Amino acid sequence: MILNHVFFDLDGTLSDPQLGICSCIQYALRKMGQQHIPERHELHWCIGPALRESFRTLLGEQAGDDDAEQAVAFYRERFADIGLFENELYAGIPEALAALQRDGRRLYLVTAKPIVFAERIIAHFALRPFFQALYGSELNGAFTDKALLTAEVLRREGIAPATAVFVGDRRYDIAAAHDNGMPCVAVSYGYGTGDEIAQAAPDAIADTPADIPTAIRTLEQHLQQNHTIDTTH
């Protein structure tokens, strides 16, 4: 087995957070005095990128860093107690994680969401036993860059990039994997559009959670047949 380690994104990969995230963004924009509040379906693009960057776009060119920080603070007012739980686990995720464990793989959560929130979400869905470790960003914005966070996880865990695979739904996940010399399985059921995923060029695609273990096995076989894998640390 080559791909011993599997890095999982959270939002749009393990669970569907759109109600909580989009409602909290609307709440923050109202608190910021914005006249136009987008509908929830118009905010789906905000699921994946760093929250501060999304607010910089939503608030417009006239907004500065202080405005984005204030919007994030308002967002967290609602998210910490309400939005966190306006979230649904994708059907088949526990079974997929269990199958990966049976294959002998070690699983890690790698999310740009603040780790204090990610830990509560994973606990809420009773997924903690599946994971070796949970990694996320800090409330001050550190490690919201997915590529930097991925590099940090590889370093801390002593994992050779060629022995790990990233599973995620957005171009940020695919880029984070490739920037660190890892293959990536993109899931098509999340918030990355077909065009976004195609342009980011993942190494494999899973259309449902149940497809993830098979996609990784198939990718692993392809790598074994076509490449010499460096598994040294």
Q: What is the pLDDT along the chain (233 residues), one digit of tens a residue?
A: 799 999 999 999 999 999 999 999 999 999 999 999 999 999 999 998 889 999 999 998 788 889 999 999 999 999 999 999 999 999 999 999 999 999 999 999 999 999 999 999 999 999 999 999 999 999 988 999 999 999 999 999 999 999 999 999 999 999 999 999 999 999 999 999 999 999 999 999 999 999 999 999 999 999 998 864 444 44
Q: What confidence score (pLDDT) does residue 170 get?
A: 96
Topology (CATH) of 5-16+89-226: Rossmann fold (3.40.50)
195 flagged as catalytic? no
Q: What confidence score (pLDDT) does residue 227 get?
A: 65
Q: Using alpha carbons only, what angle is made at residue 111 by residues 64 and 45, rounded to the nearest 5 degrees?
A: 55
Domain ranges for the chain, please list them.
Answer: 5-16+89-226, 18-85
Which of 9, 11, 169, 211 is an active site residue? Answer: 9
Beta strands in the chain (DSSP E): 5-8, 15-16, 88-89, 106-114, 131-137, 164-168, 184-187, 204-206
Q: What confidence score (pLDDT) does residue 231 get?
A: 45
Common-topology check for domains 5-16+89-226 and 18-85: no
Q: What confidence score (pLDDT) does residue 233 get?
A: 46
Q: Which CATH superfamily is domain 18-85 in?
A: Putative phosphatase; domain 2 (1.10.150.240)
